Amino acid sequence: VVMVAGAGAAQQQQQHQHQQQQLQRDVSKEAQLVCGRPRVSELKTNKRVARIVGGNQSAFGQWPWMVSLRQWRKGAFLHKCGAALLNENWAITAAHCVENVKAPDLLLRLGEFDVSNQNEPFPYIERHVRTVVSHPSFDPKTFEYDLALIRFTEPIQYERNIIPVCVPQGNDSYVDRMATVIGWGRLFEDGPLPDVIQHVDVPIITNQECEKMYKSAGFVEEIPDMFICAGISKGGRDSCEGDSGGPLTMIDHDGRSYLVGIISWGIGCALPSQPGVYTRITAFSPWINQIIST
């Protein structure tokens, strides 16, 4: 009898695991179907005005995968870094944003637009954090492998202002194409934090060009292929403090927005010959997909 009961329990456990795996496959399939397509035309939009470091104020729902990663400080969850939504259960950010921070001290706010305005077409939602999976090779000295995946305590539902970004496959270098950086980071170095989400378009450059530009500015930086650089030699367009962990995205040939990079590091903000350096997502997409599909 004990053996039969044990066999039955094992079979039930196996069935449960199979159901969970099927559910996760369904979640991944749904994310692939809806990813990278904002539904801005269905929303009330605001006029854009020139702001950020050479960029623009965004329209409501324009970047529905953008997430505000918040940390408990001074009695409240305050914005610390950006992140990007990957599916109903997972977001991605920079490992340096969550280093030495316990999961209960983190909160993710999705669908946010103007932090000073509660009266928006669709509300934001918040999720506490169940698990943080930083890349096991993350080096806080060099910022290599600067990625972390964050699992919510419970799944989210997609809304007009909450849609995942697509994870690219293949190994496109994206050189000489324009990408978009998004965030609530400072509008200039040591400047104020904006209330409304900002974006700026920057060209992707080769890592060799990136190293040359830093050298011309007096910095010797080795930038291996796990990074991707974006910026212009005269400066003026860049991410800044508070943007770390946020997405660098690009609209590909199929009209969808793909996650090209995660904001990792830079020297100053938008200074000449000091481009922004991002973790290259195509180098890590197998690792990302393996974790978010479990």
**Catalytic residues, which ones?**
96, 146, 244
| Residue 144 contacts residue 226 (beta carbons within 8 Å) | yes
Give the closest residue to 259 by CA, choosing from 175, 172, 168: 168
Distance, CA of 87 to CA of 11 (rounded, Å): 30
Number of residues in the chain: 294
Cβ neighbors of 100 (< 8 A, separation 6 or more) are none
The string over 21-33, giving b where at least 16 C-beta atoms fall within 10 Å of a residue's C-beta and e elsewhere, is eeebeebbeebee
Distance, CA of 294 to CA of 154 (rounded, Å): 15
The DSSP bridge partners found for residue 265 are 277
| Residue 90 contacts residue 35 (beta carbons within 8 Å) | no
Phi, then psi, of 152 in degrees rounded to 5: -75, 155
Distance, CA of 24 to CA of 89 (rounded, Å): 9
